[in-house]
Amino acid sequence: MRDVSRHRVALVPLTVVAIAAAVIGADELTKRWARHALSDHARHVLGPLWWRLQFNSGVSFSLGASSAPWAVMVSSAVLVGVLIAAVRSAPGSASVGWGLVLGGGLANLWDRLLSPIHEVTDFVALGRFPVFNVADSAVTVGFVVLMVLIVRGRRVFR
């Protein structure tokens, strides 16, 4: 029985890493598509949903706009905390939640660091809601997963 527990614990970080990697890959592919396909005009998708290319110099929802070095420092500090938490995540849904948060955060930091203008590519416009991307969605969904687990009294750490 003890060997099964060790095996399970070893899989938790692997789950987090796999989900984070999937988010980073999906985010990178969709941002490349958006920078190419939407460079000259927005595209209406359905109802209030539009593909609209926009660049964000701040952190979430353009907070701290025009301060890219500040955004990099804040994002990096938060990601260190998320990484520490993710490595200690409980198996199951908590690992999924931490993987989504970590992957989304890393994807946006990666985009900002590689961008010549040090801004994050956003392209999903939904009504009056701020324009966002796959990484933002992953962070939001991951956070909701973790909050639901906490409210239900479930463990999010080993």
Q: How many residues does the chain have?
A: 158
**135-151: per-residue pLDDT in tens?**
999 999 999 999 999 99
State both tokens at 140.
């939001």
Distance CA(71)–CA(57), nearest Å, equals 8
Q: Provide the strand spans (E) within the chain.
A: 43-46, 49-56, 120-126
Catalytic residue ranges: 122, 136
pLDDT of residue 45 exceeding 50, the answer is: yes
pLDDT of residue 43: 97
Q: Element (H or E) spanning 110, and its range?
A: helix 93-114
Domain positions in the chain: 2-151
pLDDT of residue 30 exceeding 80, the answer is: yes
pLDDT of residue 81 exceeding 80, the answer is: yes
pLDDT of residue 1: 46
**88-139: per-residue pLDDT in tens?**
999 999 999 999 999 999 999 999 999 888 899 999 999 998 999 999 999 9
Distance CA(41)–CA(93), nearest Å, equals 39
> Rounded to two decimals, what is the model's pTM?
0.89
pLDDT of residue 72: 85
CB 39 within 8 Å of CB 125:
no
